[in-house]
Structure 1
């Protein structure tokens, strides 16, 4: 084979590769919704909550690229995963103060969110887009409440499963446009219980008392939407600059998980940051009984 023929083959393959990546980034990846399954074990997880599944989702950005048809796929994905608890971690609409959703849009979204099944409860905190104005905050709060989500901004609740044993779920307001009140949120939190923190903005992790947190789950960053391992992200959000994507160990004490979210903003593109929901299975760690000396 002649040199020019080899060059032509290589160039042809490169064109197909670049074309394939372009097509995937713009037309496939934004709707390639996945469930990322994680396990977390601790001696503080009570026996009555062993093997409980908690699903987290964030950054819906409804009413722009996220159409009702697209979001219905997310709802189906969540229900197919069969979680016991569902937690929404902020940004329901995309810039609702610029394009205020009408009654038809809000009614459709409310009905879809109401379809989500979680026998042990559905909970939520708000993101910066939810807090763009008092009108948008009221709207988002109404939609979530009417869809049976309990909003836990700057407070904690106990989650039980047919018994008295419980874990703690702590909600914090968004650092961007919100007012996170860590003191109020942790006022009734015991360091002896297994505690999960949800906050839209991940960088608040550096402000938390690590002995009171076992797991923090956040969104906001979209995993960069387009992510290059060497060069960084297409989309960088304030308060998701220290922790932008994936899992981190904070102070060697607790895990921070920054989700990619399910929606897109600014551009309907995804590369190496597929849209995801994250489901954690709680597993009680037991201390082995010492073997008696013979």
Structure 2
């Protein structure tokens, strides 16, 4: 073989090895998040965001989820958000998921979640939702004090007696997302964080209702070329706009801002390339960033 053939084969082998290794790696992303009207006692508070465990996929990454949980415990955030896809379509994964999350609630950290499409056994929008699976998962999570929100808001009060609202929007697939219903209990002008699984739900959030919102679902594209997030498996497989990760521009109504995490797991196959699993830590501030 010519040197060029050796080079191509070598790069291919390196790429395959890297794709298999990356799901076991973990990075911590840190950002400031602007929350208008944030009370002074919440200024500087840390919010942790986890998503897309996908426990149950062959070769799943429970070790990565476990290490993310350990890092959250080290940080001791004021709030832990989990943006869906706990499992990969199977009830067998429910118990391992609760075992992974128990250290957070045992440590007294407030944990809130929304479900994702895989929690309904819906890899695609054409699949039939398994409502019983979602019910069993919700029940198991709430038994360990992870509160699951579906189109509702909760008032979070800190030791100073000042409140911040957390809004949880239902799953886009199978069509359970209702942003207006989710926001109905939030007083006008009250500080809030809005959580959803699928970034598509963000498009229907009323203007100025979600100045700080978070989502998962995309895995950052999961497999992408070094040219950037626009060159990913996700963009090749889907038509239209795709919002892979980080702060999203050009999506949603005026006055709203969305962060999409790459999450911790994988879909279809347990591989990642140029797209490391992510734990996200936000520092809340009333100041514009």
TM-score by length of 1: 0.83
- 1:283 paired with 2:285, answer yes
- Within 5 Å, give how 1:46-85 maps onto structure 2: 46-64=39-57, 65-85=59-79
SS in 1 for 2:262: coil
1:244 matched residue in structure 2: 244
Which ranges of structure 1 fall in alignment gaps of 5 or more residues?
1-6, 287-294
Cα 1:144–1:271 change in 2 (3 A) is: same
Cα 1:59–1:264 change in 2 (3 A) is: same
1:128 matched residue in structure 2: 117
CA-based RMSD: 2.7
Structure-2 separation of matches of 1:177 and 1:258? 20
Structure-2 separation of matches of 1:251 and 1:180? 16
Structure-2 separation of matches of 1:230 and 1:146? 38
Equivalent pairs counted in the alignment come to: 273
- Highest CA radius of gyration, 1 or 2? 1
Q: Which protein has the bigger strand share?
A: 1
Which ranges of structure 2 fall in alignment gaps of 5 or more residues?
121-128
In the TM superposition, residue 69 of structure 1 has moved relative to its aligned partner by 3.9
Structure-1 separation of matches of 2:87 and 2:241? 22
Structure-1 separation of matches of 2:136 and 2:187? 33
Deviations 1:222-260 (A, max 9, x none): 111002338632136889944233211444522211111
- 1:164 paired with 2:161, answer yes
Cα 1:211–1:68 change in 2 (3 A) is: closer
Structure-2 separation of matches of 1:106 and 1:179? 21
Deviations 1:164-216 (A, max 9, x none): 32121110111111411223211121341222111111012111112221111
TM-score by length of 2: 0.84
Residue pair 2:54, 2:86 contacting (<8 A) in 1 also: yes
SS in 2 for 1:212: coil
- Within 5 Å, give how 1:1-294 maps onto structure 2: 8=3, 15-26=9-20, 28-64=21-57, 65-96=59-90, 100-101=91-92, 106-117=94-105, 119=108, 121-131=110-120, 132-228=129-225, 229=228, 232-235=231-234, 241-249=241-249, 250-285=252-287
Structure-1 separation of matches of 2:241 and 2:264? 19
Deviations 1:81-129 (A, max 9, x none): 3322111111111122xxx31xxx5434322211125645110111111
* Runs of 4 or more above 6 Å deviation: 237-240
